[in-house]
Amino acid sequence: MKSFDAIVIGGGQAGPFLAARMVEKGMKVALIERKFLGGTCVNAGCMPTKTLVASARAAHVARSGAVYGVNIPGEIAIDMKVVRARAETVTMNARNGLIGWFAGMDGMTVIYGHARFEDPKTVSVNGEALTAPRIFLNVGARPVIPDLPGVNDIDYLTSTSIIHLDTLPRHLAVIGGSYIGLEFAQMYRRFGAEVSVIEHGPKLASREDEDISDAIADVLRSEGIDIHTGVSDIAFSRNSDGTTVATDSARIDASHVLIATGRKPNTDDLGLDAAGVVTDKHGYITVDDRLATNVDGIWALGDCNGHGAFTHTSYNDFEIAAANLLDGDDRKVSSRILAYALYIDPPLGRVGMTEKQARASGRKIMISTRPMSRVGRANERGETKGFMKVIADAETKKILGAAILGIEGDEVIHGIIDAMNAGTTYPALQWSVPIHPTVSELIPTLLGDLKPV
């Protein structure tokens, strides 16, 4: 049996950076990864998908050139092999960077294999037992496939497998109208495929307020994406050219099907029972406010603990654990203000409460909205879809949440994220003097238009 000061299981966005910090402190650390260093973000999430989004936007801009006085003769053609290769290059550069970084660390042992608990202090991998007083789980999540009629009889795609396509689908049917599905829907529509989105719920992106959901649907429909919401029955069957997707309201002849109905944690084959680690009914590892499990000496970070499921929240889990365990701090998950983005074009930047949540909280609130058509930068760029919205507490003057669906919304939202984390009141933020012409310059104006509801 090999002994270490700490064992990290999973090479995603939390564990490896915590392992590196522990090595810096002189500890001997084993990092166990089942497949690829970098986790979902590097290998099947943010990096390859946003690279594909960039290629799709380039095609969209090229087709729209005449509006800006740029005439490109002939048809805009998409070389999917080049598109795929570009995304793969971005992934491999990041993955190889991690491999090289860890290889140069004395005290770091990287082991590729499937780890399972033998007891609370021991894991086995590749037939070898490893032990440590501290074990950190950063095992991530994977796409979940719903039990729908005929789903096992077709060749479906997931968010992991679709990034490896090097041919253009004739017609892509996207099952699921949330964040992952919508990004791929717009992306492949811009590549030139016919696209249909099929969503069980009454709205797309159901986590958002209805006005945001409606505006997202308008953006996608304006690009020719066929949207079906409120679908109660879905069944699949093979046909001569792919798959027939039959719903209670439509029959879609698709060449490819992407199933994007959510993700589940990779916790079902870790031998958690042998360690006594508790999970919830969905398989997420139960943790306290400092990311410790119910078993002394075992922590869970990232997607597998159900607190965020984003790259940035996973990295923040690392920051919390490192601060508490290595720096003598006392940081908590509950102190985190959740923010995220939807990377359709224009993107949605979101932070804090939705309007619906704020109303349900019982607070006296104020709301302000502003269409992007009243933003100078948006007009100059010819990208006026969407709107900005902010919600504030009428009594404390603190900002409760915001949504910016529009050009550079994923960047602009950080002005509000920073203000909320600093505890800045909205009247104070109104007095900032932003740069013109930017989208961010409208934040003080947006705040100045707050009205009680």
Residues 34 and 47 in one domain: yes
Residues 390 and 429 in one domain: yes
- CATH number of the domain that 18 lies in? 3.50.50.60
Going by C-alpha positions, the residue among 12, 96, 83, 9 that lies closest to residue 46 is 12
Of the three residues 212, 239, 261, the one that is the final residue of a domain is: 261
Q: By the 8 A CB rule, do 157 and 133 touch?
A: no
Within 45-146, residue ranges assigned H as helices are 46-63, 80-103
Residues 20 and 132 in one domain: yes
CA–CA gap between residue 438 and residue 432 (Å, rounded): 14
Q: Which helix (H) or strand (E) holds 413?
A: helix 409-422
Q: Is the peptide bond before 347 cis (omega within 30 degrees of 0)?
A: no
pTM: 0.96
Instruction: With respect to residue 36, please indicate whether it lies within any of the assigned structural domains.
Output: yes
Instruction: With respect to residue 191, please indicate whether it lies within any of the assigned structural domains.
Output: yes
pLDDT score, position 341 = 98
Q: By the 8 A CB rule, do 290 and 332 touch?
A: yes
Pairing of strands 226-228, 116-119: unpaired
Residue-by-residue DSSP string for 231-281? ---EEEEEETTEEEEEESS-EEEESEEEE-S-EEES-TTS-HHHHT--B-T
Instruction: With respect to residue 131, please indicate whether it lies within any of the assigned structural domains.
Output: yes
With 0-12 CB in 10 A as exposed, 13-18 as middle and 19+ as buried, what is 232?
A: exposed
Question: Which of 114, 200, 307, 436 does the annotation list as catalytic?
Answer: 436
Residues 132 and 168 in one domain: no
- pLDDT by position in tens, the chain (length 453): 999 999 999 999 999 999 999 999 999 999 999 999 999 999 999 999 999 999 999 999 999 999 999 999 999 999 999 999 999 999 999 999 999 999 999 999 999 999 999 999 999 999 999 999 999 999 999 999 999 999 999 999 999 999 999 999 999 999 999 999 999 999 999 999 999 999 999 999 999 999 999 999 999 999 999 999 999 999 999 998 899 999 998 999 999 999 999 999 999 999 999 999 999 999 999 999 999 999 999 999 999 999 988 999 999 999 999 999 999 999 999 999 999 999 999 999 999 999 999 999 999 999 999 999 999 999 999 999 999 999 999 999 999 999 999 999 999 999 999 999 999 999 999 999 999 999 999 999 999 999 999
Q: By the 8 A CB rule, do 278 and 120 touch?
A: no
Residues 54 and 75 in one domain: yes
Which amino acid does the sequence have at 174? Answer: V
On the CB side of 17, CA atoms within 13 Å amount to 19
Going by C-alpha positions, the residue among 265, 238, 270, 235 that lies closest to residue 251 is 235
Residues 8 and 126 in one domain: yes
Instruction: With respect to residue 278, please indicate whether it lies within any of the assigned structural domains.
Output: yes
Residues 171 and 29 in one domain: no
CA–CA gap between residue 310 and residue 340 (Å, rounded): 8
* C-alpha dist (Å) from residue 395 to 46, 123, 278, 423: 39, 53, 41, 14
CA–CA gap between residue 219 and residue 188 (Å, rounded): 15
247's tokens: 């719903």
Residues 64 and 207 in one domain: no
| Known catalytic residue at 414 | no
Which amino acid does the sequence have at 140? Answer: G
Pairing of strands 256-259, 108-112: unpaired
CA–CA gap between residue 365 and residue 377 (Å, rounded): 29
Instruction: With respect to residue 284, please indicate whether it lies within any of the assigned structural domains.
Output: yes
Residues 400 and 367 in one domain: yes
> Range of 352's domain?
339-452
Count of residues for the chain?
Answer: 453
Number of domains in the chain: 3
Going by C-alpha positions, the residue among 290, 293, 294 that lies closest to residue 304 is 293
Residues 378 and 433 in one domain: yes
* C-alpha dist (Å) from residue 230 to 96, 233, 249, 332, 344: 44, 9, 9, 38, 21
CA–CA gap between residue 301 and residue 316 (Å, rounded): 9
Of the three residues 301, 317, 335, the one that is the final residue of a domain is: 335
- Phi, psi (5° rounding) for residue 247? -120, 180
Residues 213 and 109 in one domain: no
Contacting residues for 28 by C-beta, under 8 A, at least 6 apart: 3, 4, 5, 6, 107, 109
Using DSSP's 3-state secondary structure scheme, residue 142 falls into strand
Residues 317 and 402 in one domain: no
Contacting residues for 367 by C-beta, under 8 A, at least 6 apart: 355, 389, 390, 391, 392, 450, 451, 453
- CATH number of the domain that 384 lies in? 3.30.390.30
27's tokens: 């500890």
148's tokens: 């729908």
Instruction: With respect to residue 146, please indicate whether it lies within any of the assigned structural domains.
Output: no
Of the three residues 226, 261, 296, the one that is the final residue of a domain is: 261
Burial state string for 348-371 with b = 16 or more CB within 10 A and e = fewer than 16: bbbbbbbbeebeeeebebbbbbbe
pLDDT score, position 309 = 86
Beta bridge partners of 349: 341, 404
